[in-house]
Amino acid sequence: MDADETRESGKRPGYNHGLKHGLCSSDTAQNARACGLSAGCRSDPHSNSHSHSYCHPHTGSCGSDEDTTWGDEEEEGGISEFLPSLLGITGIALGFILRRMGYSAYRIPFFMASVFAGYPVARAGIRALLAGRGADINLLTTIAGIGAMMLGEWAEGAAVLTLFSIGEYLEDKAGERTRKSIRELMDLAPATARVKREGGFEEVPFHDVVPGDVVVVLPGERISVDGNVLSGESSVNEAPITGESVPVDKSAGSQVFAGTLNGEGALEIVATKGARDTTLSRIIAMVEEAQSRQAKSQRLVDAFARYWTPAMLALSVLVAIGVPLVSGQAFRPWIYRGLTILIVSCPCSLVISTPVTVVAAIARAARGGVLIKGGIHLEELGQVKAVAFDKTGTVTLGRMTVEDVVRTKGRVVSEREDDVGSEKEPEAGETDGQQNCDPGGERDERAVLAIAAAVESRSEHPLARAVVEAARLRGVEFTPGEGFFAVRGRGARASVGGEEAFVGSEELFRDEGIPVPEDLVKLGDDMRASGKTVVFVGTRKGVSGMLGISDSVRPEAREALGKLREKGLELVMLTGDDRRTAETVATRLGLTKFLSNLLPEDKVHAIQRLKYEVGPVAMVGDGVNDAPSLAEATVGIAMGRGTDIALEAADVTLMRNDLNAIPWAIDLARKARALIIQNVAFSIAVKVLALVLVFGGILPLWVAVMADSGASVAVTLNGLRILRHS
């Protein structure tokens, strides 16, 4: 929609992303129809389904009368929602008092309690039936309550409906914690932005800000856009986006995110993204996407429930009518047992046992700066046996710097901009010394850097950016090359000054039939031994020189890898760098396994082999060349400042470039998986025990209701424990 339509709708583009009706996924809503159930989200405790952040089977439908969104949803759980249950409790208490006193009118308060507590339940059940969704637990409970009163069990009928109403209310209150966690994301962005205009400032809806606008943020205000600081200095609390608890200092040129909190100084920010494309918008979109990706255990439970409920309904009819007809026994006790089976037959707690934990875990991960794209990836993350790391930009900072520029001995390279790339023989007075060993050495080194920058100016590779930045900082002028072509895993070539020039590994030059001088090869080996990446520069006429480029290991990398090793995970580093460089970095990290000289397809093969030998594998990367291996891994983990293609290919994104988030996320996923197993086992145990007691004739209707609602509340509260993960 355009901006005008957006303003009229009153919604926040880029932030609601269809997060309607709680966190109901279409798959869950469909599969939860097991006992004619429908998973949904409602605006009151009984109509149109639960308002839970996960889909609950007790209810009506996601297609409710109200088209609510997280951003517009009102706080729930007030006294009005508890009023039907409260009136039911009052009626039951009054009925017992009157019966105790010997009054025959005790049936009236029991009946009124059934009406007050049961009306919302019956209304939701009938709506679901008329909408074609079958008999859900609301309707089954209503039938059981009416049946009990028809059998003369007035107190029990009232208790069935009242206890069910109380259970629904308690379960809804428990689910509010998850909804609140997700809603907090919606509240991060301010509604307006202060945009700098000619002659002053103008307050505009934040979704009207376009890239290029200058937004002014005063101390203590939330930042409304993604952008770069134009002027001003301040500290910014980025915890809502990255999970980083310490405020980050910002000055001119620093990147800032929408939804973060400005500190003590005023900032002028140039917006780089529209409202729909901000990092906060992407987080909410990923949370929405996570709803539709069910965990494997959830799919198994839904498949089980699809067959369980019809079987239990048939059993209920068989017990109520078939047994007395065949055995000749009285109908009354068997009808009572059949009604009890109606209550215990619905696998409510079983169906919600997985999604409540999954959604709560995804919400907790998002608050910690880790975006998990779905329940299936959460479950897989908790099962990984090995973690593979890319080197550059992942275990290293990715801030490459050119530290050494060396020219080939005996070759002089022109530095003139109109003659970049041409070579000539040494003139009188010039020697054949190496770097800093001859009068023309500095000039020749600048020329080597000019050729390299001319080629690499067309590339987005971290090494290429380092070369171009080095040329800029040293004042080396160059003209961007033409006909740029990247040679995967080797380097690049382009036309520079009318001559074909190459920048890359020793293998690139040998593949092109260009010999590399032995003295440069030896010097390159020495550089690699110290952890530097070596890049050769030259033309068809020969190698002109080489660059020594270094990258620092992330300060937290060794600690993070140590935590992963303590969890029993196998660790390996994958890199396209040569063996000497890879070995040096691996030693600094305390790694014993690494693979070097890998092309992107080689990394994919390495992941495949690791999966075959060890089991589920997580791959951590940040670049374009990591995308294939991220997709191949059981779980792909992308660094948040990585390339867009890496973020798309990954299943998990670290918004804060901190490797310590990986062991934290794996621990979260393992705990979530343990909670899911606990919930499923508990739900099955309760159902089996209840059925045994029903056939033994010792399970009253009201106890069956307490068992059903109590189990649902129990698995909900147990699943929500993951929100306390630290």
Return the active site residues: 390
Read off the amino acid at residue 360. A
The residue among 208, 183, 186 whose CA lies nearest residue 195 is: 208
Q: Say if residues 81 and 169 touch (Cβ distance below 8 Å).
A: yes
Other beta carbons within 10 Å of 416: 11
How many residues does the structure list for the chain?
726
State how far the alpha carbon of 46 is from the alpha carbons of 123, 451, 704, in Å: 8, 72, 19
Look at the block and give the residue holding tokens 């696998």.
347
Joined tokens for residue 527:
């550089």
Q: Say if residues 186 and 284 touch (Cβ distance below 8 Å).
A: yes
Distance CA 627, CA 54 (A): 31
The residue among 678, 625, 674, 617 whose CA lies nearest residue 651 is: 617
Look at the block and give the residue holding tokens 């969704």.
133
Look at the block and give the residue holding tokens 């306390």.
724
Exposed/middle/buried for residue 10 (C-beta within 10 Å: 0-12, 13-18, 19+): exposed
Look at the block and give the residue holding tokens 């050495």.
441
CB burial of 118-155 (b: ≥16 within 10 Å; e: otherwise) equals bbbbbbbbebbbeeebbbbbbbbbbbbbbbbbebebbb
Distance CA 711, CA 615 (A): 35
> Strands 412-413 and 234-237, how do they pair?
unpaired
Distance CA 269, CA 225 (A): 8
Distance CA 38, CA 50 (A): 10
C-alpha atoms less than 13 angstroms from C-alpha of 241 in its C-beta half-sphere? 27
Joined tokens for residue 313:
């309904």
Joined tokens for residue 324:
């007395």
Residues sharing a CB contact under 8 Å with residue 615, sequence separation 6 or more, in sequence order: 383, 384, 385, 386
Distance CA 552, CA 660 (A): 17
Joined tokens for residue 181:
């966690």
Query: What are φ and ψ of residue 84, in 5° steps?
Result: -60, -40
Distance CA 341, CA 700 (A): 10
Joined tokens for residue 584:
């040096």
Dihedral over alpha carbons 269, 272, 276, 277 (to 10 degrees): -130
Read off the amino acid at residue 270. V
Distance CA 679, CA 715 (A): 5
Q: Say if residues 43 and 138 touch (Cβ distance below 8 Å).
A: no
Joined tokens for residue 410:
């005996």
Distance CA 656, CA 350 (A): 36
Q: Say if residues 62 and 69 touch (Cβ distance below 8 Å).
A: no
Distance CA 118, CA 311 (A): 26
Q: Say if residues 456 and 483 touch (Cβ distance below 8 Å).
A: no
Helix, strand, coil % in the chain, rounded to nearest 5: 50, 15, 30
State how far the alpha carbon of 111 is from the alpha carbons of 91, 165, 285, 336, 346, in Å: 8, 15, 48, 19, 25
Q: What's the distance, Cα to Cα, between the start and end of the chain in Å?
A: 40
